[in-house]
Amino acid sequence: MAKVRSQFVCQSCGSAFPQWLGQCPSCKQWNTLVEEVRDRVEEKRGTPASVKGRAPKPVAIGDIPAQDGPRIPLSDGELARVMGGGLVPGSITLIGGEPGIGKSTLLLQTALRNPHLKTLYVSGEESEHQVKMRAERLQQESGAMPSSKTSAGNAGAGAGGGCFVLTETNTQNIFKHIEALEPGLVVIDSVQTLHTATLDASPGSVGQVRECASEIMRFAKATDVPFVLIGHITKDGFIAGPKVLEHMVDCVLQFEGDRDHAYRLLRPLKNRFGSTNELGIYEMHGTGLAAVEDPSQVLLGDRRERRSGGAVSATLEGQRPLLIEVQALVSSAVYGTPQRSATGFDLRRLNMLLAVLEKRCGFRLGQKDVFLNLAGGFRVEEPAIDLAVVCAVLSSNADIAIPMDTAFCGEVGLTGEIRPVTRTEQRIAEAQKLGFARVFVPKGTKGIGPVKGLELVQVGQVNEVLSHLFG
């Protein structure tokens, strides 16, 4: 009988201790230590056949052959761009997001709409029939379902093509099926449902998530099979499980969006094979997620109708320039305490901008309600949107409409100055492409020159902007 070793692991921070304690010494949480039993001798069934006999040895870096192999292409251009151009063989990607945001839908439609790529979809939360029902809904517009005979033929021949579904949660059994099927991509939904026989703990615990991720990492690096893991998040917005899970994987993608809006954002938080300054935008439909090729056209409302309280900001989401409409409403406070509300914008920064307007520009907004909203359900944190926020608030306060062919970009400082922002030329090019006639930019911005058909107004103070807009 194999010897066993027992330890107590905190389910909050993942720290391990030799005995049970009421309070975790690391994170100070109470009653979070759970006993885990691990075999001292690694079980034979826990090691895949393809990994056995590959003992690592030190190799000079000059003797390591370079891998010039291309990335695995994907039909989804947004997903491929966020991942750096496609899938890297042997990589592990972790996608996190709120429940119902569309994580499973995104990966299942990726598996269905890449016929050249044989994909194994491992579901630990849904049955085969549930996955089939979702696949039929996703295939209503894109085409017919892949034939089982065709897929079986491809499997026997070792060629790519077809999507295979496996309802299994044991990692050792999953590895056996991967060795027999030889897929080009493995999707696991979700990593919190996996468990390994080498650890006596419930699925979803810190120890199980850590050990299963470690086994997947060793298997992926040894077989060059790319894995995409779906991860649940906590109520604080972090991926459930130990923090070491994000350290072990190669890419961490955050799938976010407002459930009341149709748009979804895919952000890379970590990418060993590409940039983290990319952004993928999707629109949720009844037949799945559709990539938004030109988001600025979607985020802008009807520019023919002039309304007070609206201003267009030229922002950047990663490397992608976007034009977003900022909507503000200023009204007299009905109750004693004025209300401040912001959707898609930092409320503390809004209060700071209102204080600048009152102190530096003389606008009495202390006794008025101020409501701010960013169209499309987007959340923008970069400071270049400050100038558009200020102009939208003052437009609503004076009830004077700003021409909808005018865009703004600039950071507002505490002294009322307008500070330069990065990559202003990209913002100007996006405004020119959409037919804008005038763009307000900070004074002293370097690298910009005259633009045909576009008026560039350089301003250094908020008062200068107000004189141009309202006289």
Question: At 162, which CATH number?
Answer: 3.40.50.300
Give a yes or no: residue 354 inside a domain.
yes
* Residue 27 sits in the same domain as residue 119: no
Residues in a beta bridge with 438: 406, 455
Torsion of CA 220, 222, 224, 225, to 10 degrees: -40
**Token pair 């779906």 in the structure block, residue:** 230
- Domain boundary among the residues 229, 256, 291 is at 291
Note the pLDDT tens digit of each residue in 247-277.
999 999 999 887 777 888 898 999 998 888 8
57, part of any domain:
no
Residue 62 lies in a domain: no
Q: How many residues are given for the chain?
A: 471
CATH of the domain at 307: 3.30.230.10
Q: Establish if 64 belongs to a structural domain.
A: no
Number of domains in the chain: 3
Decide if 9 is inside a domain: yes
* Domain membership flag for residue 61: no
Q: Which residues, other chains included, contact 63 with Cβ-Cβ below 8 Å and sequence gap of 6+?
A: none
Is residue 92 domain-shared with residue 4, that is, in the same domain?
no
Mean pLDDT by 10-residue block, N- to C-terminus, for the chain (471 residues)?
A: 70 81 87 74 48 68 72 89 90 92 92 91 93 86 48 38 90 94 94 88 85 92 93 81 87 84 86 86 87 79 74 87 92 86 94 93 89 86 94 93 91 93 91 91 84 89 89 69
Same-domain check for residues 308 and 287: no
CA distance 87 to 184: 10
Is residue 329 a part of any domain in this protein? Answer: yes
Domain containing 407 equals 298-470
241 shares a domain with 318: no
Q: Of 237, 256, 291, which closes a domain?
A: 291
- Intra-chain end-to-end CA distance of the chain, in Å: 88
Do 80 and 33 lie in one domain? The reply is no
CA distance 465 to 312: 14
State the DSSP code for 89.
Answer: T
* Inter-axis angle of helices 386-398 and 462-470, nearest 10: 50
CA dihedral 202, 203, 204, 209 (to 10 degrees): 110
Shared domain for 156 and 228, answered yes or no, is yes
One-letter amino acid for residue 157 of the chain? A
Q: What is the pTM of this model?
A: 0.76
Rounded to whole angstroms, the Cα distance separating 86 from 90 reads 12
Both 205 and 342 in one domain: the answer is no
Residue 255 shares a structural domain with residue 321: no
Whether residues 435 and 398 fall in one domain: yes
Domain-embedded: residue 434: yes
Assess whether 80 and 153 both reside in one domain.
yes
The reply to whether 274 and 313 lie within a common domain is no
Q: Do both 355 and 322 map to the same domain?
A: yes
What span, in angstroms and rounded, lies between the C-alpha atoms of 90 and 283? 30
Residue type, 182: E
Domain boundary (256, 291, 326) is at 291
